[in-house]
Amino acid sequence: MTVLTPGERASDAVTEAARRRTFAIISHPDAGKTTLTEKFLLYGGALTTGAGAVKAREGRKAVTSDWMEMERQRGISITSTVLQFPYRDHVINLLDTPGHRDFSEDTYRVLAAADAAVMVLDAAKGIEPQTLKLFEVCRERELPLLTFINKWDRPGRDALELIDEVEQRIGVMPTPVTWPVGIPGDFRGVVDRRTGRYVRFTRVARGATEAPEEILDADDAAAREGDAWTQASDELSLLSEIRADHDDELFRAGETSPTFFGSALTNFGVRLLLDAVVDLAPSPAPRVDEDGKARPLDAPFSGLVFKVQSNMDKSHRDRIAYLRVSSGRFERGVVVTHARTHKPFATKYAHSVFGQERETIEVAWPGDVVGLVNATDVRVGDTLYLDEHVAYPTIPSFAPEQFSVVRVRDTSKAKQFRKGVAQLDEEGVVQVLRDPAFGDMAPILAAVGPMQFEVAVHRLETEFGAPVELSPTAYTVARVTDEESSAALRGMRGVTVLERADGTRLALFESKFWLDRVAAEQPDLRLDPLVGARLAG
Ligand code: G4P
């Protein structure tokens, strides 16, 4: 390993962090996340032909593992990937998130590794109820959020109505940076509100290359676009009146969202969005540890594990921990310390991971994501560091809403069952709750949505050879409680208290109504909400 003097290390980590933008795309399934990702790659110069784009798409879908098979059948994305590419003189780290509300907890964890998020909406659909939760998760994390209203090339809803909906339903005020000229389905270009200039787009076949842009001033735009320009001008005046203008401080606090209109398919507006990621989204900043102290970017290496995934590929059968670098320089091969166990951890097998493709990664800087292979003892929320001890706050777990007892069908498979359940628990596929009195054979699986159960059942059977049956319970609400309150709660009707592997006690209630009543009657009981508990279902 190269030994760096403190001076060299300091300047490098700060400079490299400043060049990085680490963000996640969140969207409804089908709103265009995959297409937009490909177009980002195109503008980043990582994909140069249309054929390449198609290949990337097929490559993403041509996956081999069992539960990816499930993704394919259901047309959903469960696993998430990380993608790095250069743009201008920056390095972009793009984190993919699952596009289904049932996997909100997974999205929540990925967002722990991001400095900003791009929310993609379909212009014809706006905010869709089943994914409202994903966006609220983002709001909950107070992450700076950019909004991309996609598919403007085909008929859709009114632009003002769409931004109004975002404000009403998510509680983030959209501040349009660009505004469309031409109704959905007749998309001509956008006005860049920062300069007042009109960016006119030209279509290219299959969106295979960058969309040519012509910059016009207002008079030329009026002459070229006629009524479409007049309508856009009227709407722009209205926006100025309601002061829907970008404010850096409010954006960084997650209160307002710079909004862009475009079409990922035809590439219209993609460059402006990617430029905004570089120009508006924050670069990695020092992260605060569990004692509330910020670890400087130029401190020795440290990072937070935000995702663990096993057996992604039958031919590998291994476990990858995704770590976001928080400080310093990561160098493959260095032996770091695992903060929770205090054990050394060898980083010989460090990769950048995009879907099934793995490439060895040699060096990484704050904001980058490293996939650590064979991370046996590593769990979501763990910190790894070099030299100076640090532990980042663990990622809080999400409020589950569904609870089912899981039992192995064939008791001769008890060992595989236990191993499988422990593995799913560590990966955070589902939360595993146990009644200490009943032991390990009939734990309760807790999830945000039923699809998490499907993944768990499928993996227990196919990866661990332990077919199981699930029996739903009547519980619907969970609260964190303590030992003292547990004693009182256990005696109550419609309530049970269970434990997670990390020792957290959860009180489960059959209804919110019942919870409220118990809380009102016995205000001394500890009943703390989990993350996301206030969010809409
Ligand atoms: P997702 O990852 O968010 O689920 O969405 P994805 O990009 O896969 O896009 C879903 C569908 O919407 C795709 O069509 C895609 O081509 C289309 N699409 C994405 N962006 C735009 C856009 O800006 N305008 C229009 N008109 N369509 C868009 P598909 O028919 O399901 O797939 P494909 O056969 O085109 O690949």
Mean pLDDT calculated for residue range 67-84 = 58
User: What is residue 281's predicted lDDT score, i.e. its pLDDT?
Assistant: 97
Residue 536 has pLDDT above 50, yes or no: no
Q: Tell me how many degrees the CA angle 414-416-421 measures, rounded to the nearest 5.
A: 95
User: Is the CB of 99 inside a 6 Å radius of any atom of ligand 1?
Assistant: yes
Residue 238 has pLDDT above 60, yes or no: yes
Q: Which of 320, 322, 324, 338 lies closest to 385, judged by CA?
A: 338
User: What is residue 50's predicted lDDT score, i.e. its pLDDT?
Assistant: 43
Weakest mean pLDDT among 26-35, 95-104, 380-389: 95-104
User: What is residue 339's predicted lDDT score, i.e. its pLDDT?
Assistant: 95
Q: Which atom of ligand 1 is nearest to the CA of 263?
A: 23
User: Is the CB of 35 inside a 6 Å radius of any atom of ligand 1?
Assistant: yes
Residue 66 has pLDDT above 80, yes or no: no
User: Is the CB of 53 inside a 6 Å radius of any atom of ligand 1?
Assistant: no
Question: Domains (ranges, CATH) in the chain?
Answer: 21-81+91-107+114-280 (3.40.50.300), 287-385 (2.40.30.10), 402-536 (3.30.70.3280)
DSSP output for 188-232: -EEEETTTTEEEEE---GGG-SPPPEEEE-HHHHHHHHTHHHHHH
Q: CA gyration radius for the chain?
A: 24
Q: Which atom of ligand 1 is nearest to the CA of 28?
A: 3
pLDDT digits (tens, 9 = 90+) for 258-277: 999 999 999 999 999 999 99
Q: Give every CB contact of residue 514 below 8 A, 6+ residues apart in sequence.
A: 494, 495
pLDDT digits (tens, 9 = 90+) for 1-52: 444 544 455 569 999 999 999 999 988 888 998 899 889 988 988 764 443 3
pLDDT digits (tens, 9 = 90+) for 194-208: 999 999 999 888 788
Alpha-carbon gap, residue 340 to 349, rounded angstroms? 21
CA distances from 85 to 43, 90, 204 (A): 10, 9, 23
Q: Give every CB contact of residue 20 below 8 A, 6+ residues apart in sequence.
A: 90, 91, 92, 93, 283, 284, 365, 366, 367, 368
User: What is residue 317's predicted lDDT score, i.e. its pLDDT?
Assistant: 65
Alpha carbon of 109 to ligand 1 centroid (Å): 26
Mean pLDDT calculated for residue range 156-163 = 96
Residue 383 has pLDDT above 70, yes or no: yes
DSSP output for 342-377: TEEEE-SSEEEEETTEEEE--EE-TT-EEEEET-TT
Alpha carbon of 45 to ligand 1 centroid (Å): 21
The residue whose CB lies within 8 Å of the most ligand 1 atoms, and thus the one to mutate among 35, 107, 265, is 35
Percentage of the chain modeled with pLDDT above 70:
88
Weakest mean pLDDT among 125-129, 177-181, 408-412: 125-129
Alpha-carbon gap, residue 497 to 507, rounded angstroms? 4
In whole numbers, what is the pLDDT of the chain averaged over residues?
86
User: Is the CB of 33 inside a 6 Å radius of any atom of ligand 1?
Assistant: yes
User: What is residue 80's predicted lDDT score, i.e. its pLDDT?
Assistant: 52
Mean pLDDT calculated for residue range 453-477 = 93
Alpha carbon of 126 to ligand 1 centroid (Å): 15
Alpha-carbon gap, residue 257 to 111, rounded angstroms? 16
Alpha-carbon gap, residue 276 to 260, rounded angstroms? 9
User: Is the CB of 32 inside a 6 Å radius of any atom of ligand 1?
Assistant: yes
Quote the pTM value: 0.86
Mean pLDDT calculated for residue range 512-520 = 95
User: Is the CB of 154 inside a 6 Å radius of any atom of ligand 1?
Assistant: yes
* pLDDT category of residue 478 using cuts at 50, 70 and 90: very high
* pLDDT category of residue 440 using cuts at 50, 70 and 90: confident
Q: How far is CA 193 from the centre of its chain?
A: 29
Does residue 11 or residue 284 have the better pLDDT?
284
